[in-house]
C-alpha cells in the first residue's frame, strides 16, 4: 500500500504537549518502503522532512512547512537466545512502555527501570533515554538506520552511537539518520538496579523484600504516575530540562548559601545537579501564566493546561533558564526538540 500524503494536518494529537500547529503535509510510515517513498516525495516536491515518533520530546512553536512523517512501524522479534542473554529487536514505531512490558512478559530483564517513559522505540536512542540508574546504552545491542544523504542502510554498534547523557550521534547530526529498528541485549538472569532510594523505598512500602524485574517495573510506574502528569490529561513532555553537569568548585560555592543543594559526583570529576531542585528552590514550582505552567508536583515538568501555544511554553522555559542562571550561575539545557 502506498503512503498516504495528507495536506494541512493538525499535529495536536501527535505531540504530548497537545500544541495545535499544522503540518504542510503529513504521512505515517508502516514499512521501510514507506520511509523511502517519503524521502522520494520530499526530493520531488523540494520539501523538508521532519520525522516524529510518539511526539513526547517535541515543542512545536509554529506550523511546520515540511512533510511530517510519523514512524508507525510495528514488530518485535527475538534474534538470539542462549538461555541467558537474549537479543531482542523492535521496530522504531513500537510504543516504548508496551515494549518494556512485552520484554518482562517474556521473562527478560534489563528495561524495567525505563518503564512508563513515553515515546517510541526509535526515539529512545536519540536521547539515550534513562531513569533510575539505567540508560539505553546499558542494554544496547545495535540499531539499523537509513542514511538520508546516501539512501543506504547502516548498522550501528554501541561505540558508533556516541551515547552521552541524553545525547547521541543521532541528536548531534539532526536530519541525517532515520532510525528504523533497535536491538537490545536483555537477560533471563535478573541483575536489578535498586540504587535509587525512591525505588527501594517504594518496594518496601509494597512489602516486597525480594523483588523481581516486574516488581521493579511496577514500583517505578507507581512513582512516575505520582510525580509526572499523564499527557492524555495534562499536556507535557516529561522532564523539560537536563540535570546540569557543573564543576565541583561551583557546587562548593553554592553549598555555602544552599547547604541542602542536591549534587551527585560524576566519574569525570564534575557534579550533576538536580534541575528540579534548582527550579523549585527558585520558586517556579506550580507557576502558571495563562495556560502555560510548571507542574505543581514536579518542577522539572512544564505543562499545557489546554490552550498554551508552543511559543508561550518556550517563553516560560527561557524565563526559567534566565532566572536559574542569575541565581545559581547554572545554565539549564532544554530536553525537547524545538520546531
Which of the residues are catalytic?
166, 239, 335
E-strand spans in 188-320? 235-239, 245-246, 263-265, 271-273, 288-289, 292-294, 301-304
CA angle centred on 182, ends 178 and 188, rounded to 5°: 170
Q: What is the DSSP string of 56-78?
A: TTEE--S-EEEEEEEE----EEE
The helix/strand/coil state of 172 is helix
**Residue 27 near residue 37, CB atoms below 8 Å:** no
Distance CA 199, CA 328 (A): 29
Distance CA 56, CA 273 (A): 24
- By DSSP bridging, strand 134-135 and strand 130-131 are antiparallel
Distance CA 23, CA 261 (A): 43
Q: Which three cell numbers stand for residue 228?
A: 509526572
Looking up cell 506550523 gives 63
Distance CA 124, CA 115 (A): 12
Q: Which three cell numbers stand for residue 182?
A: 533497535
Using alpha carbons, select from 275, 328, 51 the residue that is nearest to residue 170: 51
Largest CA distance in the chain: 65
First-to-final CA distance of the chain: 30
Amino acid at each position: 500500500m502506498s503512503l498516504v500524503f495528507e495536506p494541512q494536518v493538525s499535529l495536536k494529537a501527535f505531540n504530548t504537549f497537545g500544541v495545535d500547529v499544522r503540518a504542510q503535509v503529513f504521512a505515517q510510515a508502516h514499512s521501510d518502503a514507506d520511509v523511502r517513498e517519503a524521502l522520494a516525495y520530499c526530493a520531488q516536491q523540494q520539501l523538508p522532512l521532519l520525522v516524529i515518533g510518539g511526539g513526547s520530546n517535541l515543542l512545536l512553536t509554529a506550523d511546520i512547512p515540511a512533510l511530517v512523517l510519523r514512524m508507525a512501524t510495528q514488530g518485535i522479534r527475538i534474534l538470539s537466545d542462549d538461555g541467558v542473554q537474549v537479543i531482542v529487536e523492535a521496530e522504531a514505531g513500537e510504543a516504548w512502555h508496551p515494549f518494556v512490558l512485552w520484554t518482562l512478559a517474556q521473562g527478560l530483564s534489563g528495561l524495567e527501570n525505563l518503564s512508563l517513559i513515553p515515546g517510541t522505540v526509535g526515539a529512545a536512542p536519540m536521547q539515550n533515554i534513562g531513569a533510575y540508574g539505567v540508560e539505553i546504552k546499558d542494554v544496547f545491542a545495535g540499531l539499523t538506520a537509513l542514511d538520508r544523504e546516501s539512501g543506504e542502510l547502516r548498522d550501528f554498534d554501541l561505540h558508533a552511537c556516541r551515547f552521552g547523557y541524553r545525547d547521541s550521534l543521532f541528536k548531534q547530526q539532526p536530519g541525517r539518520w532515520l532510525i528504523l529498528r533497535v536491538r537490545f541485549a536483555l537477560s533471563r538472569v535478573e541483575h536489578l538496579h535498586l540504587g535509587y532510594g525512591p525505588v527501594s523505598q517504594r518496594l518496601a512500602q509494597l512489602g516486597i523484600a525480594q523483588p523481581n524485574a516486574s516488581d521493579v517495573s511496577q514500583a517505578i510506574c507507581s512513582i512516575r504516575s505520582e510525580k509526572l502528569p499523564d499527557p492524555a490529561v495534562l499536556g507535557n513532555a516529561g522532564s523539560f530540562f537536563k540535570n546540569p553537569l557543573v564543576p565541583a568548585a561551583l557546587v562548593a560555592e553554592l553549598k555555602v548559601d544552599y547547604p541542602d543543594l542536591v549534587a551527585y559526583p560524576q566519574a569525570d570529576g564534575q557534579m550533576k545537579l538536580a534541575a528540579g531542585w534548582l527550579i523549585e528552590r527558585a520558586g517556579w514550582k506550580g507557576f502558571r501564566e495563562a495556560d502555560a505552567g510548571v507542574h505543581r508536583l514536579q518542577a522539572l515538568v512544564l505543562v499545557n493546561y489546554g490552550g498554551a501555544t508552543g511559543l508561550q511554553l518556550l517563553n516560560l522555559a527561557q524565563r526559567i533558564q534566565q532566572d536559574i542562571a542569575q541565581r545559581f550561575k547554572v545554565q539549564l539545557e532544554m530536553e525537547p526538540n524545538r520546531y
